[in-house]
Amino acid sequence: MIARVQPLTTTRRLSGPFDYALPEAGVEVGSIVRVPFGHQKLDGVVVGLADTSEVADEKLVTPTSVREDTVPADLVGLALWMADEYCSTPARALSLVLPPPGRPRTELWAARTEAPLEDERLTGNQRALLASLPRAAAPDTGALRRLEARGLAAIAPRSRRRAPLTHPPADRAVEITPGQRAALDALRGGGAFLLHGVTGSGKTEVYLRAAGAALERGQGVIVLVPEIALTPQTVGRFQARFGDTVALLHSALGEGERYDEWRRLRTGDARIAIGPRSAVFAPVRELGLIVVDEEHDPSYKHEGDPRYDARRVAARRIADAAQAGPGSPAAAPPLLLAGSATPRPETWAALPRLTLPERVAGRPLPPVDVLDMRGAGHPLHPVTRRALSEARKAILLLNRRGWSNFLTCRTCGKVWECPQCDVALVLHRADNVLACHHCGHRERVPERCDACGSPSVARYGAGTERLEAELAEALDVPVFRLDADTSAGKDAVPELLARFAAAPAGLLIGTQMVAKGHDFPDVTLGVVVDADSTLRFPDFRAEERTFALIAQLAGRAGRGPRGGRVLVQTTSPEAAAIVAAARHDTPGFVAGELERRRALDYPPFADLIRVVCTAEEPAPARAAAGAIAEPAAAARGAAVLGPAPLFRLRGRYRWQVVVKAHDRAAAIAAVRDAVDRAANEKANRAVAFSVDVDPQ
Ligand code: ADP
Ligand code: ZN
Ligand code: ZN
The DSSP result for 182-243, as a single string, is HHHHHTTT-EEEEEEE-TTS-HHHHHHHHHHHHHHTT-EEEEE-S-TTT-HHHHHHHHHHHG
Strand partners, 136: 109
Q: Helix %, strand %, coil % for the chain, to 5? A: 35, 25, 40
Position 520 scores a pLDDT of 83
> Do 249 and 164 meet the contact criterion of CB atoms below 8 Å apart?
no
Which numbered ligand comes closest to the C-alpha of 183?
Answer: 1
* Size of the chain in residues: 696
Strand partners, 66: 33
- Contacting residues for 214 by C-beta, under 8 A, at least 6 apart: 220, 221, 288, 289, 332, 335
Position 333 scores a pLDDT of 92
Pocket flag, ligand 1, residue 204 (CB < 6 Å): yes
Closest of 355, 396, 391 to residue 560, by C-alpha: 391
* Cβ atoms within 10 Å of 485's Cβ, excluding its own: 18
Q: What is the mean pLDDT of residues 58-79?
A: 90
Q: What is the mean pLDDT of residues 386-408?
A: 81
User: What are the φ and ψ backbone dihedral angles of 583, each rounded to 5 degrees?
Assistant: -95, 5
Position 377 scores a pLDDT of 73
> Do 461 and 405 meet the contact criterion of CB atoms below 8 Å apart?
yes
Q: Which tops the pLDDT comparison, 250 or 272? A: 272
Which numbered ligand comes closest to the C-alpha of 450?
Answer: 2
Pocket flag, ligand 1, residue 197 (CB < 6 Å): yes
Quote the CA–CA distance of 254 and 250 in Å, as a whole number.
9
Quote the CA–CA distance of 391 and 409 in Å, as a whole number.
39
What is the DSSP-derived secondary structure letter of residue 177?
A: P
* Ligand 2 center to 457 CA (angstroms): 8
Share the mean pLDDT of the chain: 88
* Ligand 2 center to 290 CA (angstroms): 57
Atom of ligand 1 nearest to the CA of 356: 3
Closest of 294, 161, 288, 154 to residue 231, by C-alpha: 294
Closest of 480, 559, 553, 543 to residue 515, by C-alpha: 553
Quote the CA–CA distance of 419 and 485 in Å, as a whole number.
22
* Ligand 1 center to 186 CA (angstroms): 19
Write the CA distances from 351 to 196, 343, 436, 604, integer angstroms.
11, 11, 40, 12
Helix (H) or strand (E) holding 633: helix 618-633
Q: Per mean pLDDT, which range of 203-217, 324-338, 574-588 is the poorest?
A: 324-338
- For 606-664, the pLDDT digits (tens) are 999 999 999 999 999 999 999 999 998 888 888 999 898 888 888 899 999 999 999 99
> Do 273 and 256 meet the contact criterion of CB atoms below 8 Å apart?
no
Pocket flag, ligand 1, residue 179 (CB < 6 Å): no
Q: What is the mean pLDDT of residues 677-691?
A: 89
Position 490 scores a pLDDT of 66
Pocket flag, ligand 1, residue 231 (CB < 6 Å): no
Pocket flag, ligand 1, residue 201 (CB < 6 Å): yes
> Do 198 and 555 meet the contact criterion of CB atoms below 8 Å apart?
yes
* Ligand 2 center to 29 CA (angstroms): 65
Closest of 315, 285, 292 to residue 78, by C-alpha: 315
Quote the CA–CA distance of 283 and 306 in Å, as a whole number.
19
* Ligand 1 center to 203 CA (angstroms): 7
Pocket flag, ligand 1, residue 283 (CB < 6 Å): no
Pocket flag, ligand 1, residue 234 (CB < 6 Å): no
Q: What is the DSSP string of 641-681?
A: EEEEEEEEETTEEEEEEEEEESSHHHHHHHHHHHHHHHHTS
- For 251-277, the pLDDT digits (tens) are 788 888 899 999 999 999 999 999 999
- For 11-50, the pLDDT digits (tens) are 766 677 988 888 777 899 999 999 988 888 899 999 999 8
List, in sequence order, every beta strand (DSSP E) within 227-313. 246-248, 272-275, 287-292
State the burial class of residue 473 (Cβ atoms within 10 Å of its Cβ: 0-12, 13-18, 19+).
exposed
State the burial class of residue 391 (Cβ atoms within 10 Å of its Cβ: 0-12, 13-18, 19+).
buried
- For 179-201, the pLDDT digits (tens) are 999 999 999 999 999 999 988 88
Q: Which of 2-16, 406-420, 607-621 tops mean pLDDT? A: 607-621
Phi and psi based region of residue 286 (left: phi greater than 0; alpha: psi -120 to 50; beta: remaining): left
Atom of ligand 1 nearest to the CA of 517: 4
Quote the CA–CA distance of 41 and 473 in Å, as a whole number.
63
> Do 274 and 656 meet the contact criterion of CB atoms below 8 Å apart?
no
* Ligand 3 center to 263 CA (angstroms): 41
Q: What is the mean pLDDT of residues 374-391?
A: 85
Q: What is the DSSP string of 550-574?
A: HHHHHHHSS-STT--EEEEEES-TT
* Ligand 2 center to 459 CA (angstroms): 13
**Binning pLDDT at 50, 70 and 90, where does residue 93 land?**
very high
Strand partners, 457: 409
Which numbered ligand comes closest to the C-alpha of 457?
Answer: 2
Distance from chain centroid for Cα 492: 18
- For 308-318, the pLDDT digits (tens) are 999 999 999 99
State the burial class of residue 470 (Cβ atoms within 10 Å of its Cβ: 0-12, 13-18, 19+).
middle
Position 212 scores a pLDDT of 96
Atom of ligand 1 nearest to the CA of 201: 3
Strand partners, 638: 661
State the burial class of residue 307 (Cβ atoms within 10 Å of its Cβ: 0-12, 13-18, 19+).
buried
**Atom 25 of ligand 1, nearest CA residue:** 174
